[in-house]
Amino acid sequence: MNKSNIQYVYINMDDSGRLVKNEPNELVFVYGGVFFLSLTEQENFARQYKSLVNLIKPKYCSSFKNNLNIQSNFCLTHNHQNCTYVCPELKSNMLKASDRRRLLNFIKKYDTSVAVVSNHKIKNYIFDSKASKGRYKDYIIKRQVKRIVENLISQNRINPNRHVNLILNLDEQSTVSNGYYDLESSIREELQFGVLNYDYGITFPPILSSVSVKVRYKNSYYNYPVQAADLLVGEVRHCYYNYLQNQDFTLYRKKTNFLSTSIYLP
């Protein structure tokens, strides 16, 4: 295969909320993140996002607060590999509104995608075991990846007749392993060969002529695109909760219209 003809899509994902039933504070589960069409673009994003995080992080680090000799630009000027401080990862639910907005404004410059899942609509048997929840989470990822690829094809940003390499970077802490379900093969088969829904007798045709899929599990503390995914899904989940309370879908759409793709499940 001619490497010059290969197209790449790098997708970085995390989740917000939990897949649970009948818990008032867990009505919505959101999965999603940020994606790129080249490794260079992803690395540039990671470098710039890290610099922005390092400007904000000192105010959330208790070690900094306890050492008056540390300046606010400490994270930008020292070698983090030799750092003796264990600073917190900047998570969506811990940030002040101004800091969250600053990071989100940067993320919004790139391609983003979410899947919003209403827990109360999911069939009860999904919650019977860790394995079934794992399969359902894989289903969410597969649906979202397909939606991203469809969107890129419709925008003529990837050619469905040329080979595509899909690289998925998933937060290792949000992964539910089910022991036997092969996410990589499942995504590849549906994108390249199509899928038959036996329950409804519906066949979904393939959308790519050739594709390879690689799933990588990342520690978000060290991976900045996955960190950004956490912030993104946390913000969308917060916006959707507000919509459920005030029933103002127009306001919700206004706050999330920066998303490149979004799907609502089940």
Domain chopping of the chain, boundaries: 3-54+110-265
pLDDT, position 3: 67
Tokens standing for residue 35:
């994606």
Residue 143's contacts (CB-CB under 8 Å, 6 or more residues apart) are 115, 263, 265
The H or E element spanning position 15 is strand 7-16
- Please give the backbone phi and psi of residue 91, each rounded to the nearest 5 degrees, phi first: -100, 155
Q: Please tell me the distance from the alpha carbon of residue 129 to that of residue 108, in angstroms, as a whole number.
A: 36
Q: Please tell me the distance from the alpha carbon of residue 144 to that of residue 194, in angstroms, as a whole number.
A: 15
pLDDT, position 77: 56
Are 21 and 179 in contact by the 8 Å Cβ rule? The answer is no
pLDDT, position 88: 78
CATH number for domain 3-54+110-265, candidates 1.20.120, 3.30.70, 3.30.420, 1.10.3470: 3.30.420
User: pTM of this prediction?
Assistant: 0.89
pLDDT, position 195: 81
pLDDT, position 221: 87
pLDDT, position 190: 93
Task: Give me the residues paired with residue 116 across strands.
Answer: 30, 264
Q: pLDDT tens, position by position, for the chain (266 residues)?
A: 666 689 999 999 999 999 998 898 899 999 999 999 999 999 999 999 999 998 888 778 776 656 655 655 566 555 555 566 667 788 888 899 999 999 999 999 999 999 999 999 999 999 888 888 888 999 999 999 999 999 999 999 999 999 999 999 999 866 554 433 489 999 999 999 998 664 555 778 999 999 999 999 999 988 999 999 999 999 999 999 999 989 999 999 999 999 999 999 99
Angle 199-18-100 from CA coordinates, rounded to 5°: 125
